[in-house]
Amino acid sequence: MEPLILEMGMGADVHGRDMTKAALRAISDAIRHSSLTVFHAYKHPSEMRVEVTIGVPDPDKLDKQAVAEALPFGTVDVTVVKGGLDDVGMGGAEDITLAVAGVKAWLDTSDHPFTLKG
């Protein structure tokens, strides 16, 4: 498989410190910056492998399955690490949680006329 894309995204939950909500917004931020026409050129976008790394302040509170389901194609592997940011300056429900996402997509490029230069 060849790595074809790496996108970064950031998302926030501004009320409630919900790690999953912030992570889903980070995934959305990452993938909406991309027009991945190369995957459709291969005619098999569902065959790509997607690796997601999410950094949030409290990794145990993240729903990895919900994050995986937010990606439209491929087999998704989600890794959660301690990161992101909790801004507790407002107090209570106004605390803000930030998540950071890295999304990498890989696809088998053999047997296709499109080639990658190495």
* Position 104, amino acid: K
Q: Answer for the pair 34, 7: CB distance below 8 angstroms, yes or no.
A: yes
Task: Express as a percent the part of the chain with pLDDT over 90.
Answer: 51
The whole-number pLDDT of residue 74 equals: 86
31 pLDDT band (50/70/90 cuts)? confident
What letters, b where the CB count within 10 A reaches 16 and e where it falls short, cover 44-67? ebeebebbbbbbbbebeebbbeeb
CATH class of this structure's domain 2-107: alpha beta
Show me where the domains of the chain are located.
2-107
Instruction: Give the tens place of pLDDT for each residue, 61-111.
Output: 999 999 999 988 889 999 999 999 988 766 666 788 999 999 998 887 777
Average model confidence (pLDDT) across the chain: 85
Closest CA to 108 of 44, 36, 34: 44
pLDDT of residue 28 exceeding 70: yes
pLDDT of residue 24 exceeding 90: yes
The whole-number pLDDT of residue 107 equals: 80
pLDDT of residue 39 exceeding 90: no
The whole-number pLDDT of residue 35 equals: 64
